[in-house]
């Protein structure tokens, strides 16, 4: 646990009592603060009371007497599409609003660091797609290379649930736009921007607001080094904003698909080969095509970003390559779960938007595609360039028929349920094909989370393979 510093004796409100909210309340107590907590759900409030926390309805104006700070959980809107009533009440009472990320950056460094031989560092990763894989891969490479490391944020543990830093440790944080948009302190040593595609637009008031939330990590964070994916205009803009000129190697540009020139430090992948260039010459090259945990061009972009971070930490190319080859991948992200009769089965349930699904579709040569769910803004038009490898689509979700009608140019069967989609895809799949779950939609019409959806896919596949 990271005790929250400089809040001893103060009364601090915590809104939202999920994983990060409860960790925040405990960390506040550990630092001597007095947390008062609220959640809109009765079961969450009951769990908090069972832990001895004071539960107080923060939507009421009188609850704010004596409160010096509100810490809100990332899933709770504070501006768009409308502020949560408790946040509006905090504004009215003149109480500052922060989140656990802000508290972490204000509390992580301690006087104990004066005795360390090597100062701990923080790597923060944001972007639309690939940030979980990039974060986990950085953590894996560091750990395999003997560097102490912890992984937290939007993946795994809440940031305040981390252990206090050890000598030379690197903390890797995956940060969503929900986390970066509100944090009052953002001071990573290395900041990573993977890419940008339309997502969470209602929460941020449009694409510009969404990008602005990501950009805060760089513009307000002031990292010592920035690793920036430049395959979209937003990334190119950000790299230009961060660099003092073409010779500024504090900015490492990364790409999947294009050769990067005219920059002091670049890492890019083309046709499956990663290359690192510094000051006009190539200093490393790796063949990624047979790295099982990183299939496809989108994962090669993730590998480039992780490579750049590891190199900025002083790791050598051979050590990084060896660690990447042992990377097992993450559940629900291009996760190869089985192969039978020459047919591969891949779970990419995390492909919840059009861009991430398109990248998954481009990773395999011939696909039986399971897709559908709660459609996001913008429609499915962005999938068109990636549909050439799709032999047939099997559409799930409550609005499966409407989803299927948008898949012009390919055969699509309305299945509605995962069980039916897996049954039909397995019945028709031929050797050399891949049965791929890459929904291009949120899960909430049928599942509590993308993880539950992926687990259902895995269970259905394994049950049918076991029955053969």
Query: Domain of 91: which CATH number?
Result: 3.40.50.720
Question: Is the residue at 6 inside a domain?
Answer: no
Identify the domain boundary among 98, 126, 150. 98
pLDDT at 417 over 70: yes
How would residue 437 be classed by pLDDT, with cut points 50, 70 and 90? very high
The predicted pLDDT at position 129 comes to 87
Identify the domain boundary among 280, 296, 325. 325
Mean pLDDT across 283-312: 94
Q: Percent of the chain having pLDDT more than 70? A: 100
The predicted pLDDT at position 329 comes to 84
Mean pLDDT across 237-242: 96
Question: Is the residue at 220 inside a domain?
Answer: yes
Same domain, 159 and 92: no
How would residue 377 be classed by pLDDT, with cut points 50, 70 and 90? confident
pLDDT at 264 over 70: yes
Question: Is the residue at 356 inside a domain?
Answer: yes
The predicted pLDDT at position 246 comes to 86
Identify the domain boundary among 72, 98, 124. 98
Same domain, 78 and 222: no
Question: Is the residue at 217 inside a domain?
Answer: yes
The predicted pLDDT at position 309 comes to 98
Choose between 174 and 378: higher pLDDT.
Answer: 174
pLDDT at 376 over 90: no
pLDDT at 188 over 80: yes
Same domain, 276 and 376: no
The predicted pLDDT at position 105 comes to 97
Range(s) of the domain holding residue 283:
103-325
Question: Is the residue at 38 inside a domain?
Answer: yes
Same domain, 71 and 171: no
Query: Domain of 376: which CATH number?
Result: 3.90.190.20
Same domain, 153 and 248: yes
Mean pLDDT across 70-92: 95
Mean pLDDT across 378-389: 91
Specify the pTM: 0.86
Q: Which of 67-71, 121-125, 328-332 is the least confident region?
A: 328-332
**Count: domains in the chain:** 3
Question: Is the residue at 5 inside a domain?
Answer: no
Same domain, 160 and 293: yes
Question: Is the residue at 272 inside a domain?
Answer: yes
The predicted pLDDT at position 19 comes to 85
- Read off the pLDDT of residues 298-336 as tens digits, 9 standing for 90 and up: 899 999 999 999 999 999 999 999 999 999 888 898 888
The predicted pLDDT at position 147 comes to 95
* Binding annotation: 127-133
Same domain, 64 and 122: no
* Binding annotation for ATP: 127-133
Query: Domain of 223: which CATH number?
Result: 3.40.1190.10
Same domain, 173 and 64: no
- Read off the pLDDT of residues 355-370 as tens digits, 9 standing for 90 and up: 889 989 998 999 999 9
Mean pLDDT across 200-223: 92
Mean pLDDT across 259-268: 94
> Which residues, other chains included, contact 121 with Cβ-Cβ below 8 Å and sequence gap of 6+?
169, 170, 171, 189, 190, 313
Q: Percent of the chain having pLDDT more than 90? A: 87
Same domain, 345 and 415: yes
The predicted pLDDT at position 468 comes to 61
Same domain, 342 and 250: no
Same domain, 236 and 301: yes
The predicted pLDDT at position 155 comes to 87
> 317-325 and 296-312 helices cross at what angle (nearest 10)?
140
Question: Is the residue at 4 inside a domain?
Answer: no
Same domain, 411 and 452: yes
């Amino acid at each position: 646990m990271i005790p929250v510093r400089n809040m001893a004796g103060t009364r601090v409100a915590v809104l939202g009592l999920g994983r990060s909210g409860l960790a925040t309340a405990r960390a506040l107590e550990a630092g001597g603060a007095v947390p008062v907590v609220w959640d809109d759900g009765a079961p969450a409030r009951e769990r908090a009371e069972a832990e001895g926390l004071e539960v107080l309805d923060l939507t009421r104006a009188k609850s704010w007497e004596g409160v010096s700070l509100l810490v809100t959980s990332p899933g709770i809107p504070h501006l768009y599409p409308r502020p949560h009533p408790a946040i509006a009440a905090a504004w009215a009472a003149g109480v500052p609003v922060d989140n656990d990320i802000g508290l972490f950056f204000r509390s992580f460094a301690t006087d104990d660091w004066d005795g360390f031989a090597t100062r701990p560092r923080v790597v923060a990763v944001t972007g639309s797609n690939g940030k979980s894989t990039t974060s986990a891969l950085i953590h894996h490479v560091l750990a395999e290379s003997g560097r102490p490391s912890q992984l937290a944020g939007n993946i795994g543990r809440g940031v305040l649930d981390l252990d206090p830093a050890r000598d030379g440790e690197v903390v890797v944080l995956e940060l969503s736009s929900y986390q970066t948009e509100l944090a009052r302190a953002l001071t990573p040593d290395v900041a990573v921007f993977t890419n940008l595609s339309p997502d969470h637009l209602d929460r941020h008031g449009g694409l510009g607001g969404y990008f602005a939330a990501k950009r805060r990590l760089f513009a307000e964070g002031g990292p010592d080094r920035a690793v920036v994916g430049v395959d979209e205009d937003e990334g190119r803009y950000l790299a230009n904003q961060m660099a003092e000129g073409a010779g500024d190697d504090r900015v490492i540009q990364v790409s999947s698909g294009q050769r990067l020139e005219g920059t002091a430090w670049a890492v890019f992948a083309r046709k499956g080969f990663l290359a690192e260039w510094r000051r006009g010459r190539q200093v490393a090259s790796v063949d990624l095509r047979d790295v099982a945990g990183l299939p496809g061009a989108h994962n090669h972009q993730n590998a480039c970003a992780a490579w750049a971070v590891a190199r900025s930490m002083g790791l050598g190319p051979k050590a990084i390559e060896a660690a990447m080859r042992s990377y097992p991948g993450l559940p629900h992200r291009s996760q190869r779960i089985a192969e039978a009769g020459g047919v591969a089965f891949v779970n990419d349930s995390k492909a919840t938007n059009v861009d991430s699904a398109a990248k998954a579709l481009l990773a395999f040569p011939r696909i039986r595609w399971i897709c559908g769910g709660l459609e996001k803004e913008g429609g499915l038009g962005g999938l068109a360039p990636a549909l050439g490898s799709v032999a047939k689509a099997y559409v799930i979700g409550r609005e499966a028929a409407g989803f299927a009608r948008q898949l012009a140019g390919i055969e699509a069967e309305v299945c509605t349920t995962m069980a039916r989609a897996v049954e039909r895809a397995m019945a028709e799949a031929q050797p050399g094909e891949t049965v791929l779950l890459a929904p291009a939609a949120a899960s909430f019409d049928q599942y509590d989370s993308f993880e539950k959806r992926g687990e259902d896919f895995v269970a259905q596949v394994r049950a049918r393979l076991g029955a053969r």
